[in-house]
């Protein structure tokens, strides 16, 4: 692999033949090197391939500002997150490195950024949040900086973004909408949620994909069936709560809930209502 660009002493862009460019990271990998030189493979600590990645050029710019120890710490966090959460988009490494570098700079300058969605994030994405808490521990162990729990909430949303294949703005909107729907059902039926229960977690998962469809204005084309009428008659309280959610979506998000969506929403709500009795 030949060096085509030196970003700093620890990061170079390389290319091998006609293959795509790659970013290679390693301590001192560019020391006393020039463009056209080969790299010392023993110094490679992280490889980031272009592979038609639209964020590659942005990362080339970003990486010149971020110290190598921060980049390698974020790589450790991403690897841990994949072990705990499963497949995550490659773009997570870029977005997480960008966020963590900003968080460290804010900490250094005494700037506190409060996370207004922290409570929602903790309760809607408990698995991702626990991984984010470990991420703060990794940052403290490797970089000697203690970040506040608000940052765990922000990092959680980066994980969720990498799962949902959306962007941070979309995930934030989805999170807010899920909480709105949960509150509508909770106060309409005067129930309390057990956020550790399997039924509650299934409901949140249903709402997560439901909220995505709503915000994308994606409709499930369906017609009323005999089952719809049966559910309506058999579970009137849950049905009324589902209708309230539908009215909220129509008024505030211009999403008109379909009969099939109303049916499944009612069934989930009924299970929650019974569990809360």
The domain boundary, picked from 121, 138, 166, lies at: 166
Tell me: do 251 and 192 sit in the same domain.
yes
Judge if 157 and 184 occupy the same domain.
no
* pLDDT value of position 191: 93
- Strand partners of residue 247: none
Instruction: Give the 3-state secondary structure of residue 5.
Output: strand
CATH number at residue 150: 1.10.1790.10
Give how far the C-alpha of residue 245 lies from the chain's centroid of Cα atoms, to the nearest Å: 25
**Domain-embedded: residue 58:** no
SS3 38: strand
Binned average pLDDT, 10 residues per bin, the chain of 277 residues: 84 80 86 85 82 71 86 95 93 90 94 88 92 98 96 94 81 92 95 88 88 81 70 92 95 89 91 89
Residue 38 lies in a domain: yes
Domain housing 91? 68-166
Q: Tell me, yes or no, whether 161 and 189 share the same domain.
A: no
Which of 117, 145, 166 is the last residue in one of the domains? 166
Which two three-digit tokens encode residue 261? 């969506």
On whether both 29 and 88 belong to a single domain, the answer is no
Count of domains for the chain: 3
- Residue 225: the pLDDT is 66
What are the structure tokens assigned to 153, written together? Answer: 């909430």
| Single pTM value for the model | 0.75
| Residue 19: predicted pLDDT | 74
SS3 4: strand
Burial of residue 176 (number of CB atoms within 10 Å: 0-12, 13-18, 19+): middle
Let me know how long the chain is.
Answer: 277
Per-residue pLDDT, 52: 59
Any domain includes 63? no
CA separation for the pair 178, 205 (Å, rounded): 10
C-beta atoms surrounding 42 within 10 Å: 7
- Domain boundary residue, one of 131, 166, 201: 166
């Amino acid at each position: 692999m030949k060096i085509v660009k030196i970003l700093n002493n620890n990061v170079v862009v390389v290319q091998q033949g006609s293959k795509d460019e790659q970013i290679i990271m390693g301590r001192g990998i560019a020391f006393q090197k020039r463009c056209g030189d080969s790299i010392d493979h023993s110094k490679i600590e992280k490889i980031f391939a272009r592979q038609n990645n639209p964020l590659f050029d942005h990362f080339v710019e970003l990486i010149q500002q971020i110290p190598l120890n921060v980049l390698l710490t974020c790589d450790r966090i991403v690897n841990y997150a994949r072990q705990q959460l499963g497949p995550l988009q490659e773009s997570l490494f870029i977005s997480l490195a960008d966020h963590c570098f900003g968080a460290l700079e804010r900490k250094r300058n005494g700037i506190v950024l409060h996370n207004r969605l922290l409570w929602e994030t903790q309760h809607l994405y408990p698995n991702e949040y626990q991984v984010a808490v470990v991420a703060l521990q990794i940052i403290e162990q490797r970089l000697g900086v203690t970040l506040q729990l608000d940052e765990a909430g922000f990092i959680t949303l980066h994980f969720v973004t990498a799962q949902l294949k959306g962007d941070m703005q979309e995930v934030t909107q989805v999170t807010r909408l899920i909480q709105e729907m949960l509150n509508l059902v909770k106060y309409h039926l005067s129930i309390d949620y057990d956020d550790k229960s399997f039924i509650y977690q299934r409901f949140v998962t249903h709402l997560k994909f439901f909220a995505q469809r709503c915000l994308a204005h994606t409709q499930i084309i369906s017609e009323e069936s005999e089952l719809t009428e049966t559910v309506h008659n058999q579970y009137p309280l849950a049905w009324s709560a589902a209708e309230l959610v539908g009215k909220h979506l129509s008024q505030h998000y211009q999403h008109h809930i379909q009969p099939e969506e109303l049916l499944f929403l009612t069934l989930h709500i009924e299970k929650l209502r019974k569990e809360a009795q």
